[in-house]
Amino acid sequence: MKPIQLFSRSALFLTLMIISAYIQITLPTPYYPMHITLQLFVCIVCGFCLPVHYAILSMGVYILMGLIGFPVFASGGGISYIMRPTFGFILGFFCCSISCSALKQRKRPTCLLDYFKIGVVGLFLYYLIGNLYYYFSFPVLMETHIPLWFSLFNGVLVSIVPDFLLMAIACRTSKSLQIFFQ
């Protein structure tokens, strides 16, 4: 595939990532509200449809735009977003997309089950990075220690079912889109 096509597709996924941040359901969790958005869906599809370098480009530009100050995150943007406990989930999008892309290139999935296995790895990394940042940021940023169960409740239990469904739909969509992205 030509580089210009890959750059165009990277820009497409960047745009979809920004738009999907505004399609959200806000959950009233203590301290910081959690948002269920379509961003997880977009980052998984991006990982399956782009080579690793272009998935890095797309997700990296998304994060940089948000940190520069463009309101591309679910709750705005700016460098101060790093000071939010939920910023780890933004970093989780980056790792999720890259892992889906790298595993797709390595494993060459052919059936939906293969896509699903790769999607589960991406979802696991998303939650791992997001929750580690969430848990360890409270003592540093908020000067408050929270118990591990509280972090797991806010970061996993509240949103795992919808995110798992989004991951499954993203895997199915990615498999269907492969005829266009080869």
For residue 78, give the DSSP letter: S
The answer to whether residue 151 is domain-embedded is yes
Task: Give me the phi and psi of 158, to 5 degrees please.
Answer: -65, -35
The answer to whether residue 182 is domain-embedded is no
Closest by alpha carbon to 47, among 97, 91, 118, 96? 97
Query: How many domains are contained in the chain?
Result: 1
The answer to whether residue 28 is domain-embedded is no
pLDDT tens readout for residues 136-177? 888 887 777 788 888 788 888 888 999 999 999 999 999 999
pLDDT tens readout for residues 58-98? 999 999 999 999 999 988 899 999 998 889 999 999 999 99
44: its two tokens: 């998984």
The answer to whether residue 27 is domain-embedded is no
CATH classification of the domain holding 65: 1.10.1760.20
Residue range(s) defining the domain that contains residue 86: 3-22+33-177
The answer to whether residue 44 is domain-embedded is yes
Sign of CA dihedral 182, 10, 47, 27: negative
